[in-house]
């Protein structure tokens, strides 16, 4: 039976993905701060190391799928923690579980990025040098450019860096027979979105962020796309970022794709 790990499995897109995979008859190992098979804090090196070790113990060193949903939004006051979870935590899980995926049956991994990753270029990303060097201590100084809105810089910058990191792994992962892609949601009806809309700094901007399809996505819609990318039906999809945002990216960047 197919075995998949889902981080951020207790709520939002992660919970919807876990439910979708279970409905397909797959075994799922959930990872989250609470309410999951494995409890772990991916904002710390110790938490990441413990999560990888716990997954490897449970799966016996072999995985068929990996979905990395765990993440924090721009409203979180500790902007450094946003980067710690969204980028460093995700990359630690991605690379730490790569050997297990190489042993899997038609293995694939999906990383949840964001349409915000397209709103900043790598050349203009204030986190680029920090993530290139792996120096988490440099995150705070790098984010000072954002002032009181450094949470947004942390969010967009970490998601941009995450997408770049995935694309840079396509040769190694492809040669190993493991497909790797990202999905880039826009506004999705999750607790993270609700918290952002309640934030006095970002709430109005989120409310004004209306897609050409004038509603928020449902977590189940994103989960359906993730499920497809994990399946053999997407057997030649590798290194791609699939935007699922109701048309926002096309609206804002019609000539850039």
* Positions marked catalytic: 155
Alpha-carbon gap, residue 185 to 120, rounded angstroms: 15
Other beta carbons within 10 Å of 54: 16
Beta bridge partners of 3: 27
Q: Determine the Cα–Cα distance for residues 23 and 213; give it in Å rounded to an integer.
A: 28
Which pair of structure tokens corresponds to residue 60?
A: 């016996």
Q: Distance of alpha carbon 160 from its chain centroid, rounded? A: 11
Residues found in the chain = 257
**Is there a contact between 67 and 4 (Cβ–Cβ < 8 Å)?**
yes
Residue 229 CA neighbour count, 13 Å, CB half: 30
Assigned token pair, 182:
């990202």
Q: Which residue has the tokens 């989960």?
A: 223
Q: Left if phi > 0, otherwise alpha if psi is -120 to 50, otherwise beta: which for 69? A: alpha
> How large is the C-alpha radius of gyration of the chain?
17
Separation CA 39–CA 53 (nearest Å): 12
């Amino acid at each position: 039976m197919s075995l998949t790990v889902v981080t951020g499995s207790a709520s939002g897109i992660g919970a919807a993905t876990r439910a979708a995979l279970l409905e397909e008859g797959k075994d799922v190992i959930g990872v989250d701060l609470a309410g999951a098979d494995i409890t772990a804090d991916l904002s710390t090196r110790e938490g990441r190391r413990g999560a990888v070790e716990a997954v490897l113990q449970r799966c016996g060193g072999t995985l068929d799928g990996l979905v990395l949903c765990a993440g924090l939004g721009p409203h979180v006051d500790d902007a450094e923690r946003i980067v710690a979870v969204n980028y460093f935590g995700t990359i630690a899980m991605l690379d730490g579980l790569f050997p297990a995926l190489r042993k899997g049956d038609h293995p694939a991994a999906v990383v949840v990025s964001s349409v915000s990753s397209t709103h900043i270029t790598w050349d203009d990303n204030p986190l680029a040098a920090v993530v290139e060097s792996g120096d988490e201590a440099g995150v705070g100084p790098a984010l000072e450019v954002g002032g009181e809105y450094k949470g947004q810089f942390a969010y967009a910058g970490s998601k941009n860096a995450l997408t770049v990191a995935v694309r840079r792994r396509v040769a190694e992962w492809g040669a190993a027979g493991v497909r790797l892609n990202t999905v880039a949601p826009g506004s999705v009806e999750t607790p993270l979105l609700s918290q952002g809309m309640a934030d006095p700094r970002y709430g109005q901007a989120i409310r004004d962020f209306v897609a050409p399809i004038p509603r928020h996505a449902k977590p189940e819609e994103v989960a359906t796309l993730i499920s497809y990318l994990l399946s053999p039906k997407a057997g030649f999809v590798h290194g791609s970022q699939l935007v699922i945002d109701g048309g926002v990216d096309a609206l804002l960047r019609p000539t850039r794709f």
